[in-house]
Amino acid sequence: MISSLTAEKLACVRGDKRLFDGLSFRVTAGQALAVEGANGAGKTSLLRMIAGFLTPAAGRLIVKSAEGESDDGEERGKIIGWLGHLDGLKPQLTVIEQLNFFAHLCGKAVDGALLEQVGLARQADLPCRYLSAGQRRRLALARLLASQRPLWLLDEPFAALDRSGQALVAQLMARHCGQGGIIIAATHDPLGLGNESLKL
């Protein structure tokens, strides 16, 4: 379990454009942080930076856990549950194969109730190419849950979902925070978690 994530004076440069500069924040266990900003403000870049894909042009990201402090991007990747704006689904694989593959990759067993939880139990044996955008999103959510990671990075978690799907996301996020997890979400909608927000 991790106790906090701290950003110190982060800067992000894409091409020759400076997206943000001197960005500092701190999120502790059980908290959520909404990242807001206009299109192209650098929300996704910030998430990719936290995930360790992008190296900050300046500043540091520090994860505090029981084992101590670390600012290593590669190490940070191992605690991250990622829900990007791409779903990462293979059209040829069935829903259950997709989930099993990823859970295996993470060395976790698949909980049979997961698909039911996201409302895809009836589609388990359907190849992913037949899923609608919302259903694909639900499957990506199930995969996020299967990874059992403490730090969730969500890019537009409400996108493409119907009303019950959005309620589901809100409920899952509340539960994750309740269990001492951390959520950082790039979003245009309120998260409804009594969370802080960061304007880019």
Partner 1 sequence: MRDIRLAARSGGSAALALSFFALVATLVPLGVGADLKLLARVAGGILWVAAVLAALLSLDRLFQGDFEDGSLDLIALSPLPLELTALAKIIAHWLSTGLPLTLLSPLLAVLFNLPPPATLILFVSLLIGTPAVSAVGAIGASLTLSLKRGGLILPLIILPLLAPAVIFGAGAVSLALDGLAAQNALGLLAAFSFAAVLLSPFAAAASVRLNLGG
Report the alpha-carbon distance of residue 127 to residue 181 in Å, rounded. 32
Report the alpha-carbon distance of residue 195 to residue 200 in Å, rounded. 16
| Helical H segments across 29-86, by residue range | 43-51, 73-77
Interface residue with partner 1, options 107, 113, 163, 199 (CB under 8 A): 107
Q: Which of residues 20 and 82 has its CB atom nearest to partner 1 in the complex? A: 82
Chain positions 10 to 49 lying near partner 1, rule: CB under 8 A, are 48
Whole-number minimum distance, CB 48 to partner 1, in Å? 8
Structure tokens at 75: 């190490």
User: Is position 99 an interface residue for partner 1 (rule: CB under 8 A)?
Assistant: no
Q: Which of residues 93 and 124 has its CB atom nearest to partner 1 in the complex? A: 93
User: Is position 125 an interface residue for partner 1 (rule: CB under 8 A)?
Assistant: no
Whole-number minimum distance, CB 92 to partner 1, in Å? 6
Numbers of helices and strands, H then E, in the chain: 6, 9
User: Is position 141 an interface residue for partner 1 (rule: CB under 8 A)?
Assistant: no
Q: Which of residues 49 and 198 has its CB atom nearest to partner 1 in the complex? A: 49
User: Is position 194 an interface residue for partner 1 (rule: CB under 8 A)?
Assistant: no
User: Is position 102 an interface residue for partner 1 (rule: CB under 8 A)?
Assistant: yes
Tell me which long-range contacts 54-58 makes (C-beta under 8 A, separation of at least 24).
54/12, 56/10, 56/11, 56/12, 57/11, 57/12, 57/13, 57/18, 58/9, 58/10, 58/11, 58/21
User: How far, rounded to the nearest angstrom, does the alpha carbon of residue 155 sit from its chain's CA centroid?
Assistant: 6
- The binding site for partner 1 (CB under 8 A) comprises 48, 51, 53-55, 77-78, 80, 82, 84-90, 92-93, 101-102, 104-107, 143
